[in-house]
Chain A
Amino acid sequence: MLPATAVALAVLAALLAWPVPAALARSRWPVRDPLVALVCWQAVGLAGGLSMIGALLVHGLAPWGHSLPEAVWTVLTSRPAGTAVRGDHWVALTLAAVLAFQLVGVLVLSWVRIARTRRRHRELLELVVQPGPQADARLLEHPAPVAFCIPGARPLLVLSSGMVAELDEEQLAAVVAHERAHLAERHHLLLLPFVAWKAALPVLPAAERAHGSVRELVEMRADDVALGSLHGTAPRRTLAEAIVAAAGGQGGGAVPTGALAVSGTGVRARVVRLLEPADPLPATARWVALAGAVLLLLAPTALLLLPAVS
């Protein structure tokens, strides 16, 4: 007989593996408040991993106790199992270990690989690019209109000469403000778990979906933050123009073949919400969403730690 806790966790894991992320990715409200949506996505990711591993762990440890602390205590004090330990208990424990190792391992590996590539990019940049007037912004000689930033302890913001040529001063300020927002809010850290779990769980379509949604949301969030610091007459329009110019700009013939452009739908969604802003999410809706995120995290934690009901 499976403990009720394991069943509850398994149900939660199943919900978080497909229906919940699918619904969140399909819903329309995240566009109106990217920040709250990003919090929800983090909660979905964390609660999903927790309940998946937790369900296996609780089932595997069932012979030793009805809740995780009880079972761990029994094992630690070398007391015998209360009921017979069957093969499926060992299978569940092994799977839990493999899954935990896989998720955490891939996260660490992604972090190391990304950090290494970033360091290489920074080295290249510092070599080929003269320091710009601002300490953190550099100008790279290249015809393609490109702007990007390299996050990290010493962040770098890079504008290509093609970008500078294509945009006027206000539009350029909008681009810089957008990139600064990425750096200031550490968006790369919000993205990292989803990059890693997409790599760790390629069979899970939700991981792919979550990654795509979170990518779009951090861009929209950076747009929102940028708008707050722009002073022109129509900052929304200025930023939209900058996006269209940069997205539609030809790479100067230098874009590598094989380089697939980002999905047009994501760019279009950004432009549309700048030109025709939807009403911001009402305060109640924000709080409901945030409370939902907290509950989502509390549910598997409580199931794991509290004594089982059965």
Chain B
Amino acid sequence: MASLGELERAVMERLWAADGPVAATRLRDELADRGVALTTVHTVLTRLEQKGFVRHDDARPRRFSPRASREEHAAELMHEVLGQAADRQAVLARFVGSVNDEEARLLRELLAGARTRDAG
């Protein structure tokens, strides 16, 4: 039994791969190897809509399409990670922030200096 998270990812893969809006029945057929019921597909699609990853049109039956590409979602995340405002820094623990060019040069000199001393 696949977890909801895995199913969500599988559904998104299909939606991203499709060249237009996709009906839930087609998604069920494409996921046939997982033995997913149509109600499950609808549950997954509802969850994805709530998370803002998927939207549907007004056709009957409804057809679903991704709101943004995978790359756009990745970019959104990286934008938040790289452009952290002060309070956002509390959200995640980043290994190290980037410093400006001058600082980066100083840091490399620091490393090089230590290496020379180790050798000598």
Q: Is A121 an interface residue (CB 8 A)?
A: yes
Binding site of A, secondary structure by majority: helix, strand, loop or mixed? helix
For chain B, the count of residues having a C-beta within 8 Å of the partner chain is 45
Q: Is A146 an interface residue (CB 8 A)?
A: yes
Binding site of B, secondary structure by majority: helix, strand, loop or mixed? helix
Partner of B73, one of A110, A114, A124, A148: A124
Minimum CB–CB distance from B17 to chain A (whole Å) comes to 14
Partner of B70, one of A128, A148, A187, A250: A128
Complex contacts, B76 vs chain A, CB 8 Å: 124
Minimum CB–CB distance from A167 to chain B (whole Å) comes to 10
Interface size grouping (class) on chain A: 35 or more
Contact count A vs B, C-beta below 8 Å: 166
Q: Is B91 an interface residue (CB 8 A)?
A: yes
User: Which residue on chain B has the smallest CB distance to residue A162?
Assistant: B78
User: Which residue on chain A has the smallest CB distance to residue B101?
Assistant: A248
Q: Could you say which of B5-13, B30-38, B56-64 contacts chain A? A: B5-13
Interface pair A244/B90, CB less than 8 Å apart? no
Partner of A247, one of B8, B107, B114: B107
A171-211 interface (Cβ within 8 A of B): 175, 178-179, 182-183, 187-188, 191-192, 195, 198-199
Interface pair B82/A182, CB less than 8 Å apart? no
Q: Could you say which of A68-76, A79-87, A92-100, A260-268 contacts chain B? A: A260-268
User: Which residue on chain B has the smallest CB distance to residue A248?
Assistant: B104
Minimum CB–CB distance from B26 to chain A (whole Å) comes to 20
Task: Say yes or no: A148-B93 contact (C-beta < 8 A), given A140-B77, A247-B107, A248-B99.
Answer: yes
B46-69 interface (Cβ within 8 A of A): 51, 53
Task: Return 26 A-B CB contacts under 8 Å, by A number.
Answer: A124-B76, A124-B77, A127-B9, A141-B74, A144-B78, A148-B81, A149-B93, A163-B95, A188-B93, A237-B114, A242-B95, A244-B107, A244-B108, A247-B103, A247-B104, A251-B82, A264-B100, A264-B102, A264-B103, A264-B107, A267-B96, A267-B97, A267-B103, A271-B110, A272-B110, A276-B114
